[in-house]
Amino acid sequence: MLIVNRNDPKPIWQQLLDQAIGHISNGNWPPGEQLLPSRELAQQVGVSRSTIQLVYEELLARGYIVTSRRGGTRVNPLWNTGVPAERPALETLEGPAIPAMPLLTSSADRLKDWLKGEEGGEVTIDLSPHEPYVDHIFLKQWRQTYLQASSSLDIRDWTYGDSYGHTPLREQIKRYLSLERGIHVQSDQILLTSGAHHSLYLIAHALLTEGDTVTTEDPGFPASWMVMKDRRMHVVPVPVDEYGLVVDLVPPESKLTFVTPSHQCAVGSVLSAQRRQRLLCMAAKNRSWIVEDDYDSEYRYRGDPLPTLFSQAPNHTLYMLSFSKMLAPGLRLSALVGSAQAIAQMARVQELIYRHVPIMEAATLTRFMEQGHFMRHMRRVRNVYRRKHEIMTKAIAASGLTKRFAFTGIETGSHMLLEAEPLFDDRSATSQLLRRGIRVYPLSLYCMASDRRGWVLGFAKADETAIEEGVAQLADVLLRS
């Protein structure tokens, strides 16, 4: 019998449905049992016939009952087929075993430590080398542009789009690359992605095969080797010195070399002209790929940005451009540039696993670039970084740190390197600073096999007073250790 509780906040039809399912599940209404017609059951329960009809329709849709003109409405005769007589309490049972993936766990944990820094108490000064300068001027302009972009989109823009990414944005990137970076390509040579990690996965999936040898900088960008290891590549770490990647140590069998030539990710050096030519000739001879991560070349304080490797060898180079570094990490937009054939292959992989980047972010960035906000922002931030670079350089010089540690502060990018002796415990000093509310980022987190130690000091995120205080605290900890 079904009963209505008028004090129950659930709708009456839901109450009756739950009771009916309970009767069928526990066997009170056995398989094949005839159920009352909807009109008769409605009279018994004291509800409208439409309520009972709704309950029956839902039971039918879920497979609890069957109905026919001659047989009327019955409990599904097959209801208990294959169900154990002693039905376990499914909600209390453990689910399938999760496979152990130690490489995934260790890589994810290390990338988190590298990107976010050591966890600890309240952080008052964060000398992050990963996050760019974001201020209220940018937020105001982005908010206004977002509203404009959302009002200009039509219905067609909200369908499944091109796996290459939003075409108007690729056109804007094409124009920017031509005017500012000396890279002249067509829009079908540009693929929009959700960041450097995403780009590297597409490269590994589309252009390499399992077991291929690849080369990465060491110290360098941790994702460059972690992604490749996850894709089961054989990763060879190659040292970096004051002239950038030591190209002569790249093995000839390497199918890909990842490099940050304009401002090395960690050490901060610039790949010398001689090594650039050697790397390009090696790639041409061995028919291998160069992945050029140009993550902060816009931030050069003397002279123009350096020529790209891609502009010299477009058929062997894959060029990575990150708006996470140029604007804000939360944007999660970047571009991958290569030959039309390579980009087409990666676009097919994109279509399979990701489809395309979100339309609103792409449309907003398109308008942001069209209206000139992007280049004005870059010029303004370059001036901010130049000033902060000077402040950090003077603070380190005045602190006495250079008497014990090597300091590399080339006038490019948004970070510097303070290097200790090999195997120095840079993690311990990092923890001591964290207890004082100062977060710094140890060089050891950038190392795959290298024993180099020190701290990669970012100045983009911190204000000028915080930079000076952070360096003073760093000196106090290191010079007393």
* Single-letter code of the amino acid located at 174: K
DSSP-assigned letters across all residues of 165-204: --HHHHHHHHHHIIIII-----GGGEEEESSHHHHHHHHH
Tokens 């180079």 found at: 317
How is the beta sheet containing 441-442 ordered, strand by strand? 406-408, 415-420, 453-458, 441-442
- C-alpha 374: how far from chain center: 22
- Adjacent-strand bridge partners of 190: 337
pLDDT-wise least confident of 103-112, 185-194, 337-346, 377-386? 103-112
Q: What is the pLDDT, as a whole number, of residue 271?
A: 93
Same domain, 168 and 52: no
Answer whether residue 89 is part of any domain. Answer: no
Give the tens place of pLDDT for each residue, 206-246. 999 999 999 999 999 999 999 999 999 999 999 999 999 99
Q: At what angle do helices 12-25 and 49-61 cross, to 10 degrees?
A: 50
**Cα dist. 123→127, 137, 435, 449 in Å?**
10, 25, 9, 30
Same domain, 337 and 357: yes
Provide the phi-psi class of 89: left if phi over 0, else alpha when psi is between -120 and 50, else beta.
beta
Same domain, 162 and 246: yes
Q: How confident is the model at residue 443 (pLDDT cuts 50, 70, 90)?
A: very high
* Single-letter code of the amino acid located at 114: W
Q: What is the pLDDT, as a whole number, of residue 155?
A: 87
Q: What is the pLDDT, as a whole number, of residue 183?
A: 93
Answer whether residue 409 is part of any domain. Answer: yes
Query: What percent of the chain lies above the pLDDT cut of 90?
Result: 67
Q: What is the pLDDT, as a whole number, of residue 98?
A: 83
Give the tens place of pLDDT for each residue, 462-474. 999 999 999 999 9
Q: What is the pLDDT, as a whole number, of residue 117?
A: 77
Q: What's the whole-number mean pLDDT along residues 363-373?
A: 95
pLDDT-wise least confident of 36-45, 297-306, 402-411? 297-306
50: pLDDT strictly greater than 90:
yes
Rounded CA separation 121/127 (Å): 15
- Whole-number average pLDDT of the chain: 90
Same domain, 349 and 408: no
Give the tens place of pLDDT for each residue, 254-284. 999 999 999 999 999 999 999 999 999 999 9
Answer whether residue 106 is part of any domain. Answer: no
Q: At what angle do helices 464-480 and 426-435 cross, to 10 degrees?
A: 120
Instruction: Give the three-class secondary structure for 444.
Output: helix
Same domain, 365 and 387: no
Rounded CA separation 458/414 (Å): 6
Q: How many domains does the chain have?
A: 3
Give the tens place of pLDDT for each residue, 160-217. 888 999 999 999 999 999 998 899 999 999 999 999 999 999 999 999 999 999 999 9
Answer whether residue 4 is part of any domain. Answer: no
Q: What is the pLDDT, as a whole number, of residue 114?
A: 77
Kindly tell me the number of DSSP H helices and DSSP E strands found in the chain.
15, 16
Q: What is the CATH number of the domain that holds 273?
A: 3.40.640.10
Answer whether residue 93 is part of any domain. Answer: no
87: pLDDT strictly greater than 70:
no
Q: What is the pLDDT, as a whole number, of residue 159?
A: 83
Instruction: State the residue range of the domain holding 56.
Output: 12-82
Q: What is the pLDDT, as a whole number, of residue 38?
A: 87
Note whether 268 and 408 are within 8 A (CB): yes
Q: What is the pLDDT, as a whole number, of residue 316?
A: 95
Cβ neighbours, 10 Å, residue 391: 18
Q: What is the pLDDT, as a whole number, of residue 481?
A: 62
- Adjacent-strand bridge partners of 384: none
Q: What is the pLDDT, as a whole number, of residue 25?
A: 84
Element (DSSP H or E) covering residue 289: strand 289-293
Same domain, 371 and 399: no
Same domain, 236 and 310: yes
Q: What is the pLDDT, as a whole number, of residue 410?
A: 78
Nearest C-alpha neighbor of 261 from the set 285, 248, 243, 235: 243
Q: What is the CATH number of the domain that holds 19?
A: 1.10.10.10
Query: Which of 375, 393, 416 is where one domain is finished?
Result: 375
Same domain, 162 and 263: yes
Q: What's the whole-number mean pLDDT along residues 384-388?
A: 93
Q: What is the CATH number of the domain that holds 404?
A: 3.90.1150.10
Rounded CA separation 284/409 (Å): 33
Instruction: Give the three-class secondary structure for 345.
Output: helix
Same domain, 170 and 312: yes
Same domain, 163 and 28: no
Cβ neighbours, 10 Å, residue 84: 7
Q: What is the pLDDT, as a whole number, of residue 82?
A: 58
Give the tens place of pLDDT for each residue, 26-38. 888 988 899 988 8
Query: Which of 375, 403, 429 is where one domain is finished?
Result: 375
Q: What is the pLDDT, as a whole number, of residue 463?
A: 92
Same domain, 186 and 260: yes
Same domain, 232 and 291: yes
Note whether 317 and 290 are within 8 A (CB): yes
Q: How many residues in total does the chain contain?
A: 481
DSSP-assigned letters across all residues of 101-143: -HHHHHHHHHHHHHHH----S--SEE--SS-----HHHHHHHH
Element (DSSP H or E) covering residue 335: strand 334-337
- Main-chain dihedrals φ then ψ at residue 318, nearest 5 degrees: -115, 120
Answer whether residue 6 is part of any domain. Answer: no
